[in-house]
A and B are shown apart, each in its own frame.
Chain A
Amino acid sequence: MQKIGVFVCWCGSNIAATVDVQAVSDALAREPGVVFSTNYQYMCSQAGQDMIQEKIRELGLTGVVVCSCSPRMHEATFRKACEKAGLNPYMVEIANIREQCSWIHKDKLSGTEKAVLLGKAAVAKVHLNTPLTAGESPVTKRALVIGGGIAGIQTALDIAEAGFPVDIVEKKPTIGGKMTQIDKTFPTLDCAACILTPKMVDAAQNENINILSYSEVEAVKGFVGNFTVTIRRKARFVDETKCTGCGLCTEKCPQKKVPNEFNLGLDTRRAIYIPFAQAVPKAAAIDPNYCTMLKTGKCGVCSKVCTVGAIDYQQKDELLEREYGAIVAATGFEPISMDKFDEFAYSQSPDVVTSLEFERLMNAAGPTGGTLLRPSDGTHPHTLVFVQCVGSRCDGGEKGKPYCSKICCMYTAKHAMLTREKYPDTEVYVFYIDVRTPGKNFDEFYRRAVEEYGVHYVKGMVGKVVPENGKLKVQASDLLGGQQLHIDADMVVLAAAVEPDKSARPLATMLTASMDTNDFFTEAHPKLRPVESPTAGVFLSGACQGPKDIPETVAQAGAAAAKVIGLLSKDRLTCNPCVARSDELMCNGCSACEKVCPYGAITYIDKEFRGPNRTTLLRRVAQVNPAVCQGCGACTVACPSGAMDLQGFSNAQIMAEVDAICK
């Protein structure tokens, strides 16, 4: 018989206001095996923990039940406290009487009743608990960063700085991400390329960083400290090690009509291309969808002009398999498609552009060489209308996103300001719902656009845009002025909402990392663990976790790197001992568990058993690798013979809990 101590926490008034804690500790005191039962204001405080330890020593408790908050909060605290007093930490059970009782019940009576039941269930379980010892697993001291934008680059640089090797996997032929397409950065207006490209070069030159550009993650296996990742290196048909980036091939390629994705399709590039001048790695890639040689076998101009023989039309996709201790998701964002916003005439007029397209139209490396010209006729626009919140803060289901995209207020202020500065003959209107500029020097920046640069900020939305005789007829509301405005604009710029990159969802599935309804990665705790995924060993960096500007992204990237460094600097990790175990004598070798195991933790071996009359039998039985098993319990449900059981959560323990509740 166990000697069990019950400790009921008030959690200040969090529990005590809705649950009669005295009644709970009194009721549990009458349960079999309970030798001590009390309640206390804050069980998690040092005094509370001391009390538990004192009672373990004084009464020789063999099991402890703490009725308190969710085990996600303080299970570790109480386990550690009990371990210090000499009790095996897995002899501690938590009854969650806060989240599951006081916080959801208004009525004290029903709250108390449920708290007593949960307490009884925990006591019943402790009776069947056995001391468990956690094993250890090694840590592969290398990190993988998925995504080579500013978030991924910064994370990789910081991890490399600490001396650990890092691989960056980037799906595009160059690293740099969205920031390469941005012209100037708010609120200081320094050139994005000027501050980004040195970091790209740093990453390329760092001995600890290995850039796998034009590559994608194909599969992820393993667990924290021991991931095995399959990476597809897409064929770029150019030998990256030979190519000098001279660019001769990109000038001679006869296929000139390929939409240039770097300039968002506003101009064209060749079928063999280097995305932009400062690309890292500075190596060409052939676009197989447009290359005449790859499609018809006739051409070969690039291979003829290449002086180093880097072109290889026979190149195939390669699959790499590598080991990592930690994985950082830094997959970034995309502006949403404007297809569903026909009222702004995006599909009808080339002069209606998104903000990212506007960045390219203002950029010296853009399609117009940095002179702002209308895409339709190449003339200088005089009246510009900026529309904010296009697709952000929408409640209409599929049409838009329910969240604020966070960066649009600032970049729109930047666009408006730059337009007025470069072209003082323009009239610039910004239609806003709210101007949201929290951030260091952000509101000052927006006010400068209004006060110094004379940008017309109008509270209200644009209702429709109609292209007519080379103009864009804008109908909008001026809510503060109480009028409907009709503006003949030359260009309309839409601040499109941002959404996570399309690759994030399949990646999250591979990583078993959770996502929210908008496909942003979920953090382990929204306040206290903002750069970790709930999946151990997976970390989050940048806009894949939520809309973010560059300063915030860089800060988060550094934070994620710090967490990775913390993990990689350990030699061994303590495993969770609550893993599956197979009873070999009961196992019938059916393989059901092997099929359902999502972690590949179960293997089958042929084992000799002693049979009657000194014979030996060779039987096929399941074996669990405790380092790989995550304790999900799928195998225990699938096993038809009842041979599989989860340590710490055995079938007998669960049934005892159910019995205690249903008695």
Chain B
Amino acid sequence: MNHMTEIVTRISGVNPRKCMKCGKCTAACPAYDEMDYHPHQFVDMVETGRLEELMNSRGIYMCLSCFACLERCPRSVEPAKLIEAVRLAVVRQQGRNHLKPEQIPALLDPDLPQQAITSAFRKYRK
């Protein structure tokens, strides 16, 4: 397993090898048209180690973190978690955040799930 794949799978806790390539994630994705790579492709790219392409893609910031893919995946691969892990890997690699911690409280929406809040802030001003 290549180094970045290992980092991404460790952060997400997802095993991309469980994917049986049914494409239900992509079929459920509401942001499909905005993405250059689609959820089932994310999973495949992580598994085959094509992470550089993925980390440079705009598609990962188009993910709404709506969790439809995670909810419907029959194999519990949970692409939304993988995408979040890729975003995190990008942030960590660059060593800088796009948002200062003190800016966060004003932007909080308490009704959103925690990961959606986190990923929304991760995308902020990107």
Any B CB within 8 A of the CB of A484: yes
**Docked-complex contact B22 and A460, CB < 8 angstroms:** yes
**Interface mask (B60-98 → A, CB under 8 Å = 1, otherwise 0):** 000000001000111110000000000000000000000
Instruction: Report the stretch among B2-10, B27-35, B101-109, B114-122 that lies at the interface.
Output: B27-35
> Would A460 and B26 be within 8 Å (CB), given that A479-B40, A484-B32 are in contact?
yes
Chain B positions within 8 Å of A399 at CB level? 74
A460 to B27 alpha-carbon distance, docked (Å): 8
Any A CB within 8 A of the CB of B58: no
**Docked-complex contact B72 and A343, CB < 8 angstroms:** yes
**Docked-complex contact B22 and A475, CB < 8 angstroms:** no
**Interface mask (B12-28 → A, CB under 8 Å = 1, otherwise 0):** 00000010111111111
Total residues of chain A contacting the partner, CB 8 A: 21
Contact size class for B? 20 to 34
Chain A positions within 8 Å of B68 at CB level? 463-464
Chain A 31-86 interface residues, beta-carbon cutoff 8 Å to B? none
**Docked-complex contact A461 and B22, CB < 8 angstroms:** yes
**Docked-complex contact A461 and B23, CB < 8 angstroms:** yes
**Docked-complex contact A433 and B20, CB < 8 angstroms:** yes
A396 to B23 alpha-carbon distance, docked (Å): 16
**Docked-complex contact A396 and B74, CB < 8 angstroms:** yes
Distance of B42 from chain A, by nearest CB (Å): 13
**Docked-complex contact A477 and B27, CB < 8 angstroms:** yes
**Docked-complex contact A476 and B74, CB < 8 angstroms:** no
Of the candidates A396, A459, A460, A477, which one forms a contact with B73 in the assembled complex, judged by CB atoms under 8 Å apart? A396
**Docked-complex contact B24 and A463, CB < 8 angstroms:** yes
Chain A positions within 8 Å of B27 at CB level? 460-464, 475-477, 484
A475 to B27 alpha-carbon distance, docked (Å): 6
Any B CB within 8 A of the CB of A332: no
Chain B positions within 8 Å of A475 at CB level? 27-28
Any B CB within 8 A of the CB of A491: no
**Docked-complex contact B74 and A395, CB < 8 angstroms:** yes
Distance of A430 from chain B, by nearest CB (Å): 14
Q: Which of A459, A460, A461 has the most CB of B within 10 A?
A: A461
A460 to B38 alpha-carbon distance, docked (Å): 13
Chain B positions within 8 Å of A476 at CB level? 27
Any B CB within 8 A of the CB of A389: yes
Any B CB within 8 A of the CB of A570: no
**Docked-complex contact A460 and B23, CB < 8 angstroms:** yes
Chain A positions within 8 Å of B25 at CB level? 463
Any B CB within 8 A of the CB of A393: yes
Distance of A481 from chain B, by nearest CB (Å): 11
Any B CB within 8 A of the CB of A367: no
Of the candidates A389, A462, A463, A479, which one forms a contact with B29 in the assembled complex, judged by CB atoms under 8 Å apart? A463
Chain B positions within 8 Å of A396 at CB level? 73-76
Chain A positions within 8 Å of B32 at CB level? 484
Chain B positions within 8 Å of A134 at CB level? none
Chain A positions within 8 Å of B22 at CB level? 389, 433, 460-461
**Docked-complex contact B28 and A395, CB < 8 angstroms:** no
**Docked-complex contact B72 and A463, CB < 8 angstroms:** yes
Chain A 472-513 interface residues, beta-carbon cutoff 8 Å to B? 475-477, 479, 484
A461 to B40 alpha-carbon distance, docked (Å): 11
**Docked-complex contact B40 and A477, CB < 8 angstroms:** yes
A475 to B76 alpha-carbon distance, docked (Å): 21
Distance of A399 from chain B, by nearest CB (Å): 8
**Docked-complex contact B28 and A464, CB < 8 angstroms:** yes
The residue on B at minimum CB distance from A396 is B76
Of the candidates A394, A463, A477, A484, which one forms a contact with B75 in the assembled complex, judged by CB atoms under 8 Å apart? A394
Distance of A390 from chain B, by nearest CB (Å): 9
Chain B positions within 8 Å of A343 at CB level? 28, 72
Chain B positions within 8 Å of A477 at CB level? 23-24, 26-27, 38, 40
Chain A positions within 8 Å of B21 at CB level? 433, 479
A462 to B74 alpha-carbon distance, docked (Å): 12
Of the candidates A393, A460, A462, A463, which one forms a contact with B20 in the assembled complex, judged by CB atoms under 8 Å apart? A393
A479 to B33 alpha-carbon distance, docked (Å): 14
A463 to B26 alpha-carbon distance, docked (Å): 7
Any B CB within 8 A of the CB of A648: no
**Docked-complex contact B26 and A484, CB < 8 angstroms:** yes
Chain A positions within 8 Å of B29 at CB level? 463, 484
Chain A positions within 8 Å of B33 at CB level? 484
Chain A positions within 8 Å of B20 at CB level? 393, 433
**Docked-complex contact A479 and B75, CB < 8 angstroms:** no
A185 to B28 alpha-carbon distance, docked (Å): 33
Distance of B33 from chain A, by nearest CB (Å): 7
Chain A 387-426 interface residues, beta-carbon cutoff 8 Å to B? 389, 393-397, 399-400
A18 to B1 alpha-carbon distance, docked (Å): 30
**Docked-complex contact A400 and B74, CB < 8 angstroms:** yes
Distance of B120 from chain A, by nearest CB (Å): 22
The residue on B at minimum CB distance from A480 is B23
A463 to B72 alpha-carbon distance, docked (Å): 8
Distance of B16 from chain A, by nearest CB (Å): 13
Distance of A276 from chain B, by nearest CB (Å): 35
Chain B positions within 8 Å of A462 at CB level? 24, 27
A81 to B102 alpha-carbon distance, docked (Å): 84
Distance of B85 from chain A, by nearest CB (Å): 19
Chain A 534-559 interface residues, beta-carbon cutoff 8 Å to B? none
**Docked-complex contact B23 and A479, CB < 8 angstroms:** yes
> Would A394 and B74 be within 8 Å (CB), given that A463-B29, A477-B40 are in contact?
yes
Q: Can you name 18 A-B pairs with beta carbons within 8 Å?
A: A343-B28, A389-B74, A393-B75, A395-B75, A396-B76, A460-B26, A460-B27, A461-B27, A462-B27, A463-B25, A463-B27, A463-B68, A464-B28, A476-B27, A477-B26, A477-B40, A479-B26, A479-B40
Binding site for A on B (CB under 8 A): 18, 20-29, 32-33, 38, 40, 68, 72-76
Binding site for B on A (CB under 8 A): 343, 389, 393-397, 399-400, 433, 459-464, 475-477, 479, 484
Known: A463-B25, A477-B27. 17 other contacts (CB 8 A): A389-B22, A393-B20, A394-B74, A396-B74, A396-B75, A400-B74, A433-B21, A433-B22, A460-B23, A463-B24, A463-B29, A464-B27, A475-B28, A477-B23, A479-B40, A484-B29, A484-B33
Q: Which 8 A-B pairs have the closest CB atoms?
A: A463-B27, A463-B28, A461-B24, A477-B27, A477-B23, A460-B23, A477-B26, A433-B22
